[in-house]
Amino acid sequence: MIAAMPPRPSSTFHLPAHLVNQVGTNLGRPVSLNLSKAEHSKLRTLPMDQKLATLAGVFTLGEPVQHKCVLVIDDLYQSGVSAWSLAKFLKAQGAREVYALACVKSWSDTDNV
């Protein structure tokens, strides 16, 4: 399964969803996952423990992923905490493997996980 990192509900444009749709078009197959994220505060300036606490419980899944391998596409890798938190969530939902692919790495963050 290929899925976009879910956007914050307040987002008006979400590059990862666009990228996933393009991958699906190029592969000639559906690639979405019914995955969402609740609104939460910005993570950029928070220390790592607060980033993790902020993302605890924000993801929801509307379809089974048991025994599936999931590739999550995101537009930015800053600290890695969003991808790590989503992977942990998907694994808890039964995903066999979870991988993340980010298109850009932020140069300014030093708390990479």
32-63: pLDDT as tens digits? 788 999 988 888 888 889 999 999 999 999 99
Residue 30 lies in a domain: yes
Distance CA 33, CA 94 (A): 14
Structural domain containing residue 22 = 16-36+62-113
Domain count, the chain: 1
Residue 5 lies in a domain: no
**Three-state SS at 5:** coil
Residue 1 lies in a domain: no
- pTM equals 0.84
Distance CA 39, CA 28 (A): 32
Residue 111 in this model has a pLDDT that exceeds 60 = no
Residue 83 lies in a domain: yes
Alpha helices (runs of H) in the chain, residue ranges in sequence order? 15-27, 48-55, 81-92
Residue 77 lies in a domain: yes
